[in-house]
Amino acid sequence: MPTATATSKKPHLSFCPFGATSITLTNFTSPPIRRPMTTSAVSIEKETVISERPYTFLRQTDGEDNGSIRSRFQSMILEMQESVCGALEALDGAGKFKEDAWTRPGGGGGISRVLQDGAVFEKAGVNISVVYGVMPPEAYRAAKASAAGQKSGPVPLFAAGISSVLHPKNPFAPTLHFNYRYFETDAPK
């Protein structure tokens, strides 16, 4: 049976003993060279565990009125966390979620909820976060091609979202993951 050896960049045709034909694509180019980033890493503030959840994770400057997008999104993810956790507890029948709340010194925080060793779920997590930070101007320009004429400097960032991972006890049942996020940036000034 004829066979081909991989010595060039062209596809090769080889014949298998049972009459089937296979095509092998080979590429002998070098992998791309990775260059180190020239920007410094953005530091992330260490979160502090708190004994009970606050009324809001928003900064006072964001306003706690229900009209702002930040406020409405925070309300929506808090309600969604309650709804999803309630439905999962009802479905599981035995497990109950344990809750941890945390905050960051510069504003923001989150609520982590975990159900462990239930009747249906080995482990289930439903977490929300509302965080503030800064991103390097290079990352902002990479995300927005039209930002070329803007001044350099740190870019304020707000992000909020809900994330969940469910691991059923049944090894034949699939693991589930979802997240829903809202990101907001201000152009460098």
What residues are annotated to the active site?
177
Task: Give the integer Cα–Cα distance in Å for 149 and 152.
Answer: 9
Q: What is the dihedral of CA 55, 61, 66, 70, to 10 degrees?
A: -90
Bridge partners (DSSP) of residue 49 are 102
Contact 163, 179 (CB under 8 A): yes
